[in-house]
Each structure stands twice: as C-alpha cells, then as structure tokens.
C-alpha cells in the first residue's frame, strides 16, 4: 500500500522515528472513550507515567481535581468530536502531584467512513517554554492519522538533503501546498529570496545535523508568495547506529503574536511621545507665562516713555523699534501658550466662510502677488465651535507656511466641509459632527520623516531666524482646546494639506465673528483703583499706566494684601487683579471681596488659562483682560468695568 502523502511506502518504524525524534511535544492517542491508547517518552517525561502505568487509564487523571469536578475532560472530548478541535491552556498534574502549565490541542481521528476512532492529543509544557514532542506507538495507519489530524502545526519530514518526504494537513493549511505539489521538493522553497541567497536553509540543516536540533523565528513564504512569521524547530533523525536518516520539522505560524507584540511596542512609543509633548507643553506654558509678565513691563514702560518724550529723530525711532520687538515677543508667547493649551479662548459659533472671506484681503496683502488663493466651501456649512480670533491667527499661520513652501509661486486652496468623525481621534464618537478646514498648497511637499516631525514644538524647516517652530504647534493647540484635531497630509512633489477639525457648534452657542480694533476709551478719570499683582515689574507698570490716565492707584503685591487694602479703604471704585498668584488666585480673592462688597467692579488680568481659575472667574462673571496689554486697552477695560457695574441687572 502506498501512502498518498509520501513519495513512497512509509512503514511504522519510520513514523515512529519521525514522532520519537520530536522531543518538545507530547503526541499521543485516546480511544473514543478517552482512555489512553498510546504513550511515548515525551509524555512520560512531561507527566511521569511509564506506558505500563498509564495505557488503558482515562486521560482525566492529568487534570486537576477542580477540572475533574466541573467535567472539563469530558467537555474537551465533546468539543473536539463536535467542533473538530479543542484547544486550551491550563494547569495539568504529573504523576508526582506537581502541576505544570500546558497548552493542549485535541483533534478527532476518524475512519475513512467518518466514524470516530479516537482522538489525537498534543500537549506542550509552557512552564519552561519548551516544545514537547509525542511519540506514537501504534501502527502505520494510526501514526499517519495522528500526524494528519494536527492542523495547527506543520509537521513533516525531510531527507538528509532537505527534500520533503511527508506532509500533513497543518503544513498544507499554513504554507498552502498540497502534498503532491511539495513532496519531493526542497524545503528552501519556504524561505525568502534573501535567506536562500545567504544559505540559511543549508545552515539550518547543518546545525540540526551537528547539534541535534535547530530552532529559530523568522519570515517564511507561503505558496501564494505572502510571508508569515514562523517559529521553526528542526530535529535530526538518526538510525540506531547513529547514521542520519533525515529531519523532523515543525513549523507554527506566530504572525499574530508578533504583530500583537509590535502593536504593544507602538503603543508604548506613542505613550512616550505623548508624555514628552505634555512635559514640553507644561514647561512651555510656564515659560510663556513668565515671559508675558516681562513683556508687559517692557511694552508698558516703553509706551509711557514714548508718550512723555518729545519726538527726537535719534531716540524715538529706537523706542518704536523696541516696542515692535516686544510686540513680536508677545505674539511668540501667545503661540507658546496656545501650544501648551494654556491660552484662554473665547468660544462661540464661528461662520467659517464669513471669517475667511473677511480676512481674504489681509491674506492677499500678506502672501504677495505670486500666489493665487482659492476659496471652496460646502453649501450649508454648519458653524464651528472655536475662538474666531485664534482661528484667524491659525489660518493665517497655515497660509504663510504654504506661501513659504512655494518660493517660486503657486496656488493655495482654503476649503471647509462637514465631516463625521475627526480622523484618528479615539476620544470622540466616530459619528461626531465636525467642520474640517483645509489649507492646501502646490509646493514640493514633505517626505515621511519631515511629516512625522512637522507638528513637534520648535521643529522648523525654515532657515535660521526665519521661524520659531511653534506655528503648527499653535494650530494644534487651538484645535485640541476647541475639542477637535489638527493633522497634515503630504507627498513629495504634491504639496501639503493642513487640516483643522472643529466640532460643530451647539444650537445655543452665540455666533462669533472676529472684528476690528478695540473700542476707544471714554477718557474717564479720577477713579480710585486697587491693583493686585505678585510680579513687581507688572504691578509698577500697571500703576504707572493708570496714574497717567488720571486715576488714583492703590497697589498690592499679593491677594492677601489686596483683601486687606479693600477692607481698609472703602473708597475703592474698582479692582484690577492678576489671576495667577501664589497661595490665592485673583478669582479666589475677588470672590471674598464680593462677599463683603457685592457689586464692586473687579477685572482679572491674565494670559494663562488654568481650568479651575477660569471656571471660578466665569462663575463670578469677572471680565478678563489678556496680557500683555497697552494703555489704550487698559483704559477701555476700566470703562468696561465701570459700565458693567452701572448697567441694571
């Protein structure tokens, strides 16, 4: 009789040699009732029973008392018989009562007519992470059925030259070859071209022949050309006289495990990157807050100096230049605060087409005549939830970046459309409604490495002194604070598309449109104003501005001093306080003042958004003035406080 899966007759001894050579798997048979019908040295090594002790006994004795009490052995056989396979990891018991953690596969063995003959059972001892081999002690047909019944492992034999001599169903499932297609062929067909060129197949057989065993994890190739990650064991099979008969080869597809490990590593890398960006954000926010205070003192003092000095062609232009430099520094701090998500925003329902068209003339003047700008907006576009002023700044930033990417000119398209979902955001529902604003250029685009780093803080592709590297980070911060997302898409030679996802505004949100210059001050004079700020430079500057406007100022360097001054001086008309101060914030101080003097006009000055302080300030209805500010905006703020206090409730 000729075996259909071999190149010639295979006798029982040869099958026994094959299975006995596999020492890392316990492979044995059960009859239909679950009694052990064969036993091998591998099983004896795993479980401690000799063949005389276990053959004929029920396999349930390998289970723990708990598993036997709940009928796990019977369930295992039932599942294998009805579903064609049973697989489990769990505790098993050796003869001496010790336990080991095992991976178990049970496959039914059926006659050609379909009747159940018994079960093929493979056990692997995972306690020491070694593969177990099972030796079968039955006839040629039993060994053939057992080997072919295993579908999760490719188990086959090679002759001493590496040609395939047997092939099982598991090998066919994993590698795609039918027995008649591969038997007689060389096993190097499963290797990649690179491995074949380097001699890896011959080296594997040489190691197995020399050392008795070869084991590795590497890429292997299926019949259809696709690759998979394989765990491979090759054992040398020898005659009793030591002559090399061939090799037993076991292959398992571990692609899913490797991909899961890779996904875990990617997740760890993403977490590390997120933590790094968060740390940079915290540092940036703190630096920007302190820098804001310094700029406040510089800008205010320069403004008063320029106001008090007569024009001098040798001095006045220098003062103007210093003021312009300070104003540029103020823009930089705003970008830093935006990146750190510490800039307080005024949210509203923004009509994106109206906003963009309103700034189109300014965009044209900014980018010059060599760049054409096109606007495309979906009809009926819903309003977006954001701060209109910061959205203007973000769009202008993206447009300027697009212009700089096209030094020889080109085209910029600003578009907006409604979308469901915000790209890869996982913290929002997949069907959440967003408005996606896009700025597309026709420049050279970015390579993959540049694109990955483009939104990192302080990264820039512009020349030295031509960029801070915070522009895209600022846009990212605005989108995140608005509850949306910012992203870039690009290919080399195809330009860059910058996308801002903003949530659709709620029905109860007030429409907001970025408008022109601040309202002029009324020129009100003669008020008694309490100014509280823990930064002496800012305090001195604010006092000087207010006194120059004709007011009487009481200065306090802490919230506690401010409370004491308000209690001591009932003639104070209004209070202007810094928000971020040690031990007690400006909003906390204001709340205490209003308990004793309801209706006292109090305004908060800050450039730094703290969630707790912002919520407290809003609950008290305290107006806010952003740092750094000019004397004109300070005068307007004083008017705002007085007028708000005078309006009827």
Q: Which residue has the tokens 């292959």?
A: 251
Contact 453, 476 (CB under 8 A): no
Residue 334: how many CB atoms within 10 A of its CB? 21
The pTM (predicted TM-score) of the whole model is 0.38
Domain boundaries, the chain: 1-9+150-252, 23-134, 348-512, 528-646
Mean pLDDT of all residues belonging to the chain: 78
pLDDT for the residue numbered 4? 41
Choice between 366 and 283, residue whose per-residue pLDDT is larger? 366
CA 429 to chain CA mean position, Å: 16
Fold type of domain 1-9+150-252: Beta-Lactamase (3.30.450)
Contact 285, 340 (CB under 8 A): yes
Closest C-alpha among 30, 249, 59, 252 to residue 155: 249
Q: What percent of the chain is predicted at pLDDT more than 90?
A: 25
In a 3-state reduction of DSSP, which class is residue 327? helix
Closest C-alpha among 351, 349, 391 to residue 478: 391
pLDDT in tens, 528-573: 999 999 888 888 888 988 988 899 999 999 999 999 999 998 889 9
pLDDT for the residue numbered 649? 36
Cis peptide before 628 (omega within 30 of 0): yes
Q: Which residue has the tokens 């903003």?
A: 502
Same fold yes or no, 1-9+150-252 and 23-134: yes
Residue 119: its H or E element: strand 116-125
Please, what is the angle between helix 316-339 and helix 255-308, to 10°?
150
- Identify the top-confidence range among 152-156, 280-284, 361-365, 576-580: 576-580
As given in the structure block, the two tokens for residue 503 are: 């949530």
47 DSSP β-pair partners: none
- What is the DSSP annotation of 199-268? THHHHHHHHHHHHSEEEEEEEEE-TTS-EEEEEEEEEEEE-TTS-EEEEEEEEEE-HHHHHHHHHHHHHH
pLDDT for the residue numbered 308? 77
pLDDT for the residue numbered 619? 67
**Domain 23-134, CATH class in plain words:** alpha beta
Confidence of residue 467 (pLDDT cuts 50, 70, 90): very low
- Hey, what long-range contacts does 212-221 have (CB within 8 A, 24 or more apart)? 212/236, 217/254, 217/258, 219/192, 219/195, 220/175, 220/190, 220/191, 220/192, 220/251, 221/189, 221/190, 221/191, 221/192
Q: Are strands 433-441 and 86-93 parallel, antiparallel or unpaired?
A: unpaired
Q: Comparing 48-52, 205-209, 446-450, which segment has the lowest mean pLDDT? A: 446-450
Residue 248: φ, ψ to 5°: -100, 130
Architecture in CATH of 528-646: 3-Layer(aba) Sandwich (3.40)
pLDDT in tens, 46-85: 788 888 898 899 999 999 999 999 999 999 999 999 999 9
Burial class (CB in 10 A: 0-12, 13-18, 19+), 476: buried
Give the C-alpha distances (Å, rounded to integers) separating 116 from 77, 106, 112, 119, 271: 11, 13, 10, 8, 53
What angle is formed at CA 621 by the lines to CA 599 and CA 563, rounded to 5 degrees? 55
pLDDT in tens, 289-330: 566 666 666 777 777 777 777 777 777 777 777 777 766 666
Q: Are strands 574-578 and 602-606 parallel, antiparallel or unpaired?
A: parallel
Contact 333, 284 (CB under 8 A): no
Q: Which residue has the tokens 């090759």?
A: 234
Contact 115, 103 (CB under 8 A): no
| Rounded Cα distance, 525 and 503, in Å | 44
| Rounded Cα distance, 423 and 499, in Å | 10
pLDDT for the residue numbered 433? 87
pLDDT of residue 279 exceeding 60, the answer is no
Confidence of residue 15 (pLDDT cuts 50, 70, 90): low
Q: What is the CATH number of domain 348-512?
A: 3.30.565.10
Contact 29, 135 (CB under 8 A): no
């Amino acid at each position: 009789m000729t075996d259909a899966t071999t190149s010639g007759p295979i006798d029982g001894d040869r099958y026994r040699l094959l299975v006995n050579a596999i020492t890392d798997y316990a492979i044995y048979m059960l009859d239909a009732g679950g009694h052990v019908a064969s036993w091998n040295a591998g099983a004896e090594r795993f479980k401690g029973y000799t063949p005389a002790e276990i053959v004929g006994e029920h396999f349930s004795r390998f289970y723990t008392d708990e598993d036997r009490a709940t009928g796990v052995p019977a369930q295992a056989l039932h599942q294998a018989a009805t579903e064609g396979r049973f697989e489990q990891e769990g505790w098993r018991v050796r003869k001496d009562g010790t336990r080991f953690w095992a991976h178990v596969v049970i496959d039914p063995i059926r006659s050609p007519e379909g009747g159940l003959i018994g079960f093929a059972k493979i056990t692997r001892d995972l306690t020491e992470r070694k593969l177990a081999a099972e030796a079968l002690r039955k006839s040629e047909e039993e060994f053939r059925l057992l080997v072919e019944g295993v579908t999760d492992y490719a188990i086959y034999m090679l002759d001493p030259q590496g040609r395939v001599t047997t092939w099982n169903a598991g090998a066919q499932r994993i590698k795609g070859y039918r027995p008649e297609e591969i038997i007689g062929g060389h096993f190097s067909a499963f290797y990649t071209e690179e491995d074949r060129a380097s001699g890896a197949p011959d080296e594997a057989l040489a190691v197995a022949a020399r050392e008795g065993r070869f084991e590795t994890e590497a890429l292997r190739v299926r019949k259809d050309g696709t690759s998979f990650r394989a765990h491979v064991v090759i054992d040398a099979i020898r005659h009793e006289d030591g002559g090399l008969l061939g090799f037993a080869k076991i292959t398992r597809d571990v692609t899913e495990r490797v991909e899961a490990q890779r996904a875990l590593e990617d997740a760890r890398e993403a977490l590390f990157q997120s933590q790094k960006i968060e740390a940079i954000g915290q540092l940036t926010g703190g630096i920007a807050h302190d820098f804001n205070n310094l700029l406040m003192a510089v800008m205010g003092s320069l403004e008063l100096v320029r106001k008090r000095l007569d024009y001098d062609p040798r001095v006045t232009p220098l003062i103007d230049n210093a003021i312009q430099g300070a104003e540029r520094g103020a823009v930089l701090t705003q970008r830093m605060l935006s990146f750190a998500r510490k800039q307080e925003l005024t949210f509203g329902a923004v009509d994106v087409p109206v906003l963009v068209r309103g700034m189109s003339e300014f965009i044209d003047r900014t980018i010059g005549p060599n760049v054409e700008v096109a606007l495309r907006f979906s009809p009926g576009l819903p309003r977006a939830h954001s701060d209109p002023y910061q959205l203007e700044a973000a769009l202008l930033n993206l447009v300027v970046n697009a212009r700089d990417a096209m030094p020889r000119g080109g085209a910029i398209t600003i578009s907006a459309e409604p979308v469901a979902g915000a790209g890869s955001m996982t913290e929002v529902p997949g069907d959440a409604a967003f408005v996606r604003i896009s700025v597309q250029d026709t420049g050279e685009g970015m390579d993959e490495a540049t694109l990955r780093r483009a939104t990192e803080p302080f990264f820039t592709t512009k020349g030295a002194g031509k960029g801070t590297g915070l522009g895209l980070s600022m846009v990212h911060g605005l989108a995140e604070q608005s509850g949306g997302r910012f992203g870039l898409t690009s290919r080399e030679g195809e330009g860059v598309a910058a996308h801002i996802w903003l949530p659709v505004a709620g029905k109860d949100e007030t429409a907001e449109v970025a408008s022109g210059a601040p309202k002029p001050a009324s020129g009100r004079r003669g008020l008694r104003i309490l100014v509280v700020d823990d930064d002496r430079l800012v305090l001195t500057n604010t006092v000087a501005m207010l006194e120059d406007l004709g007011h009487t100022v009481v200065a306090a360097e802490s919230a506690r001093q401010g409370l004491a001054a308000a209690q001591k001086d009932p003639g104070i008309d209004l209070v202007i306080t810094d928000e971020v101060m040690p031990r007690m914030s400006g909003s906390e101080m204001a709340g205490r003042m209003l308990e004793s003097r309801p209706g006292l006009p109090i305004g908060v000055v800050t450039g730094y958004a703290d969630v707790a302080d912002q919520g407290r300030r809003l609950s008290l209805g305290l107006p806010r003035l952003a740092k750094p500010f000019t004397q004109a905006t300070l005068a307007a703020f004083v008017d705002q406080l007085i007028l708000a206090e005078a309006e009827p409730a």
